[in-house]
Chains A and B, each alone.
Chain A
C-alpha cells in the first residue's frame, strides 16, 4: 500500500484549492442524510450556481418537506420553510413583494408531484419569475421508500413490493414534460446526480435556470434525478446504475425548453 497518496493534509507543493470540504454556502454538518444519497450533490450544485452567478446576496430558498429539509438550517442562504407541497405559492408571494430577489424552491417528487401538484402548475402557468427545483428519486425517502406519483413502472417501493404495476398503481407523471408546454414557462430541464457527467450537465442547467430568473424571462424548472439507495433497497454503490437504468429510462435527462435560446420569430 505504499502507492497511496497522503491525504491527511494539504499538499506542500504549490497548488490551488479547487474545492473545500464544505462547499460555498453549505455549513459543516449540514445534514443527516443517508449514505449514498443523491440530494446533497443536487443542493450543493444549486447553491454553487447561485453563487457563481453572483446572486447570493439576493437569494432565498423556499423548502418543501422531505429529507432535503434537513439542509434548511445547514445553508448560508436565507430559507423560507413551506408546508409540504406549498413552496411554489410561498415563492410567488415572496417574489411579488421582493422582485429584486432570486427565489428558488427545493422540493421532492412527493412534495411537488403528489402533495402540491396544482401549486407548481399554477405557478408555472402564471409565469412567476421563480425557479422551482424538484429532487426526483421516485420515492418518499423520508418515510422509508414509498411510492410517489413519479415512481417508474417496475420500481419497487414499500407499497409496490413487486414493482409499480400500472394496473394497480397507475402511471407515473413526467413533471418536466408536463410543465414545459405552459406559456408562462421559460426554462425546463431534467438533470441527474448519479455520475460526474450528469452532475456537470446539471450544473449548466441550474445556471441557465437562475440566469433566466435573473433576466426576468419567466418560470424556470429543473428536475433532478437523485439516488435513494435506502428507499430503493439497494447497496449505495448500486444506486447510480439503478438511476440510469430505471429512472432515466422514463424520466429522460436533457434540456426540454429554453426560451432564452429559442430563435426569435
Chain B
C-alpha cells in the first residue's frame, strides 16, 4: 500500500492499467480528455495500446475489437460522445463483449443515459459511480472484474470534479476472485479447426456447433441473461445516520460527497438527517434503500439535474414521501462546475425540505 497524491484523471488512468487494461481508445472531450491523456502516456509503458480515435464511434469500435481479442479494453467519453456510442453499447451486451466505458459526465443530467441507455433492445449495463478518488481507483478496477465476469460492458461514472480533484490514493492492483478463461476470445487460432469461434450480437454459434442457436432464440434468452447478471451483482451503497433519521437524503457521485458532509454536520447539530448514496447505479441498491428509510418520514433526492435518479428511488417501492430537492446547476463553462455544489446551499435545501415536511403535518420526532 503506497499512497500518492494524484489528480483524478491520472489516478483513474493508472488504476485502469493496474487492473490490466491494455487497450484504450478515445476521442477528446473534457473531462474525459484528461483520462485519455493519462492512458496515451502510460499504456505504452506497459506494452499496451492507446489509440486517439477519429470519433467516438470509432473509439468504441476499436475497444470492441481489442476486447474481442481477449484484451482488457476500455473507452469512454462525456454525455454527447456517449450518445454516439449507445448503439455499440447495446450490441456489446448482445455480443457478450466485456468492456469498461468511462462516463466522465458534465453535471448529472446523464443518469438516465447511463442507467437506462439510449441503445436498442433489451440490454443492461452495470453502472458504478464513485464519490471520491480513493473509491474511484477501487471501482474502476472492480469494473474490469465485473465486465469479464459477466461478459458485459460496465460503465464507470465520474465527473469533472473526480477528473480534477487531487487526493492521496493507492493505484496499485487490487485482488479479485479468479475469472473463467476467455475461451471465446478471437486470435485466429481456432480457424480451420472445425471449431472456429464467433463473437457476434446476432449469431452466437457457428452453423456446425453441437447446439446451433438461431437468432430468435438468442434474442429471447437475452432478458434472462440480463436478469441473471443483475441479480448476481451485489449492489453497492453507503449510508450514514439513517437508523433513527427523520429525513434521508439520497445522492450519488460528487454531489453525494457534499451531501454526506452536510448531513454529518447537521447530525452534530442535533438534526436527525441521514444520507444514502447508491454506489452502483445499476443494479440500484433497492433493498438497502428500503431498509435505510424504514424509520424516516420523508426521503429527499438531491441530484444536479431535473430529477432522474428519483425515478429509481420511487421504483424501490418505499412507502414514504419521496421528493426532489436537487436541480440543474451549471456555470458558464458547461463542464458541470455547479454553483449549487457548496455545503451552504445543500444544507439550505435540506433544511427547507425538512421545514416543509414539518409544515405539511409530517410530525417530527422530538430530538
Contacts and interface: CB of A to CB of B under 8 A. Distances in A.
Contacts of B87: 83
A122 interface: yes
Interface residues of B, number: 50
Contacts of A89: 53, 57-62, 64-65
Contact of A78 (B67, B188, B201): B188
A94 B202 CA distance: 19
A59 B193 CA distance: 12
Contacts of A58: 187-189, 191
B191 A77 contact: yes
Contact of B65 (A51, A69, A78, A93): A93
B295 interface: no
Query: B60, B186, B190, B202: which has the most chain A beta carbons within 10 Å?
Result: B186
B188 to A, nearest CB: 4
Contact of B54 (A27, A63, A118): A118
A257 interface: no
A81 interface: yes
B308 interface: no
Given A81-B201, A90-B64, A118 B196 contact: no
B258 interface: no
Interface in B174-232: 186-194, 196-203, 205-208, 212
Nearest to B195: A76
Interface stretch (B68-76, B100-108, B138-146, B348-356): B68-76
A73 B205 contact: yes
Interface in A66-112: 69, 72-83, 86, 88-98, 100-102
Contact of A86 (B61, B69, B187): B61
Contacts of B192: 25, 51, 56-57, 76-77
Contacts of B70: 97
B203 A80 contact: no
B207 A93 contact: no
Contact of A60 (B51, B62, B187): B187
B125 to A, nearest CB: 17
A57 B188 CA distance: 5
Q: Is the interface of A mostly helix, strand, loop or mixed?
A: mixed
Contact of B51 (A30, A62, A86, A92): A92
Given A80-B200, A86-B61, A94-B186, A73 B66 contact: no
Contacts of A118: 54-55, 57-58
A199 B187 CA distance: 29
B61 A73 contact: no
B88 interface: yes
A79 B199 contact: yes
B96 to A, nearest CB: 11
Contacts, number: 169
A237 interface: no
Contacts of B88: 83, 86
Query: A80, A82, A97: which has the most chain B beta carbons within 10 Å?
Result: A97
Nearest to B75: A93
A119 interface: yes
A97 B207 contact: no
A119 to B, nearest CB: 6
B322 interface: no
B63 interface: yes
Contacts of A101: 69, 186-188
B25 interface: yes
A119 B23 contact: no
Contacts of A83: 61, 87-88, 91
A14 interface: no
B54 A122 contact: yes
Interface string A183-210: 0000000000000000000000000000
A74 B207 contact: yes
B69 A77 contact: no
B6 interface: no
Nearest to B55: A118
Nearest to B57: A86
A96 B23 contact: yes
A81 B87 CA distance: 14
Interface of B: 22-23, 25, 49, 51, 53-55, 57-71, 73, 87-88, 91, 95, 186-194, 196-203, 205-208, 212
Closest 4 CB pairs of A and B: A93-B65, A89-B61, A81-B200, A90-B65
7 contacts: A89-B62, A96-B66, A97-B66, A98-B186, A98-B188, A101-B187, A118-B54
Given A57-B191, A76-B208, A97-B66, 14 more contacts: A57-B188, A57-B189, A59-B188, A60-B191, A75-B196, A76-B191, A76-B194, A77-B191, A77-B192, A89-B62, A97-B49, A98-B188, A101-B187, A122-B54
